[in-house]
Amino acid sequence: MSETVLLVGGGGREHAIARALAPDCDLYACASNRNPGIAALAEGFETISETDAEDIVAYAESVDATLAIVGPESGLAAGVADALDEAGIYTFGPQAAEARIETDKAFQRQFMRDEEIPGNPDFATFDDMEAACDYIDDYDGDLAVKPAGLTGGKGVKVIGDQVTPEEAKAYLRDSDYERVVLEERLVGEEFTIQAFVADGEFRVSPAVQDHKRAYEGDEGPNTGGMGSYTDVTPSLPFMADGDYEAAVEVIEAVVEALPEYKGILYGQFMLTTEGPKVIEFNARFGDPEAMNTLPVLETPFIDVLTAAREGESLPELDFAEAATVCKYAVPEGYPTDPEAGAEITVEVDEDADALLFYASVDDREDGLYTTTSRSFAVVGVADSIAAAEELAEDALADAGEGFHIRHDIGTAALVQRRIDHMAELRGE
Instruction: Please state which of the four CATH numbers 3.30.750.80, 3.30.470.20, 3.30.465.10, 3.40.50.720 is assigned to the domain occupying 189-418.
Output: 3.30.470.20
| Nearest to 39, CA basis, from 62, 73, 67, 14 | 14
Cα 277 to chain centroid distance, Å, stands at: 18
Split at pLDDT 50, 70, 90, the class of 367 is confident
Q: What number of CA atoms fall less than 13 Å from residue 389's CA on the CB side?
A: 18
The reported pLDDT for the residue numbered 137 is 95
Tell me the mean pLDDT in the region 90-110: 96
| CATH placement of domain 4-95 | 3.40.50.20
Distance CA(297)–CA(315), nearest Å, equals 12
Phi, psi of 225 (to 5 degrees): 130, 120
| Nearest to 240, CA basis, from 74, 32, 11, 423 | 423
Tell me the mean pLDDT in the region 401-407: 89
Q: Tell me the sheet residues that pair with 343.
A: 369
Tell me the mean pLDDT in the region 181-197: 97
What DSSP state is assigned to residue 291?
H
The reported pLDDT for the residue numbered 427 is 94
The model's pTM:
0.95
Structural domain 122-184, CATH architecture: 2-Layer Sandwich (3.30)
What are the start and end residues of each CATH 3.40.50.20 domain in the chain? 4-95
pLDDT in tens, 43-52: 999 999 999 9
Q: Is residue 340 over pLDDT 90?
A: no
Distance CA(43)–CA(346), nearest Å, equals 23
What are the start and end residues of each CATH 3.30.1490.20 domain in the chain? 122-184
Amino acid at 96: A
Cβ atoms of 335 and 224 within 8 Å: the answer is yes
DSSP 292-335: HHGGGB-S-HHHHHHHHHHTPPPPPP-B-S-EEEEEEEEETTTT
Tell me the mean pLDDT in the region 121-132: 95
What are the start and end residues of each CATH 3.30.470.20 domain in the chain? 189-418
Tell me the mean pLDDT in the region 89-93: 98
Of 85-89, 274-278, 369-373, the poorest mean pLDDT is in: 369-373
